[in-house]
Amino acid sequence: NGKIILVGFHTQILARLTGEFVHELRNPLTIIKGFLQLSNYTKEYEKYHPVILSEIERMHTILDNFLTMSLRKCTYKKMNPNELCKQLVALLSAECTVNHVAFDYDIAYTENHCNVDLDKVKQVVINLLRNAMEAFEIKNNENKIILRGSVEDRGYRFSLIDNGPGMDREVLKRLGQPLYTTKSKGTGIGISLCKKIIAEHRGTFCVSSVPRKGTTVSFYLPFVSPAV
Ligand code: ADP
Ligand code: MG
């Protein structure tokens, strides 16, 4: 219902969250710029219009919710996980194209539905994607990201798999502690925000990683029980 609640973040963390949302705006901006530049080189530029429009839409959402986004309670809509995946594929393939990273997906079919706050789940996936992008140390055409959708017991799992450098045990252990980052310009907010959003969805969040092989970050959303 769009009601704002305070969730007990420290002012220091709130200040950093503000920075995170400003940072958040850079993604759609980069995509819009990239596609506008790309459209210079093709006659089919009209096919980029939906992407550009949807990115502008996303900036609207982020700006509307600026600062209060993480404090806004989730507002759910019943959604089929395959429909959600379709939207995530559009989002991810656009971002990967711009960043010259290979993208693939593998989506298991389901007729079930989950309760989803679409903007928030997109925010989660964008955070995970950005982490993967930032993790690729050497920029080459071996870099790859996969979106996997799998049916599990009473729910659906969305996994983002990268073949980046992975994390060692120490990083993995501290991951998700608010403000924990290994980057000089990191905020350390991304993963804890993701966890919070997925927990609000009554889902679970899971990270597994093998040094020099890659990282899989996934979240599970429970199915809503079928209507009687
Ligand atoms: P930030 O990105 O600002 O550092 P996050 O909470 O998003 O904060 O991530 C915390 C840390 O987790 C990162 O600094 C990085 O060391 C590690 N990390 C997250 N995702 C990945 C990934 N896909 N591959 C390797 N390391 C990762
Ligand atoms: Mg991050």
Share of the chain residues as helix, strand and coil, in percent rounded to the nearest 5? 45, 20, 35
Compute the average pLDDT of residues 49-64.
76
Mutate to test the pocket of ligand 1, among 21, 131, 179, 207 (most ligand atoms within 8 A of CB): 131
Tell me how far the alpha carbon of residue 173 lies from the centroid of ligand 1, in angstroms.
Answer: 12
Confidence of residue 228 (pLDDT cuts 50, 70, 90): very low
Ligand 1 atom at shortest distance from the alpha carbon of 20 = 3
Instruction: Output the CA 132–ligand 2 centroid distance in Å.
Output: 8
Q: What is the ipTM of this complex?
A: 0.99
pTM check: above 0.90: no
Sign of the torsion angle spanned by Cα atoms 172, 92, 115, 79: negative
Most confident of 42-46, 56-60, 112-116: 112-116
Atom of ligand 1 nearest to the CA of 132: 23
Q: Which two tokens stand for residue 52?
A: 């550009």
Task: Please give the pLDDT value at position 210.
Answer: 96
Residue type, 203: G
pLDDT at residue number 1: 41
Query: Please, which residues bridge with residue 158 across strands?
Result: 149, 219
- Give the DSSP H/E element, type plus range, for residue 222: strand 214-222
b/e 74-90 (16+ beta carbons within 10 angstroms → b)? eeeeebbbeebbeebbe
Q: Which ligand is nearest to the CA of 135?
A: 1
**Nearest CA owner, ligand 1 atom 12:** 175
Flag whether pLDDT at 180 surpasses 90: no
pLDDT, average across residues 119-137: 89
Residue 82: pLDDT over 50 = yes
| Residue 164 near residue 136 (C-beta atoms within 8 A) | yes
Helix axes 190-200, 11-39, angle to 10 degrees: 100
193 C-alpha vs ligand 1 centroid, how far in Å? 12
Site residues for ligand 1, CB cut-off 6 Å: 127, 131-132, 135, 162, 164, 166-167, 171, 175, 180-183, 186-191, 215
Tell me the CA–centroid distance for residue 112 and ligand 2, in Å: 31
Distance from residue 193's CA to the centre of ligand 2 (Å): 10
The helix/strand count (H/E) of the chain reads as 6, 7
Predicted local confidence at residue 205, as pLDDT? 96
Q: Which amino acid is at 32?
A: I
Confidence of residue 218 (pLDDT cuts 50, 70, 90): very high
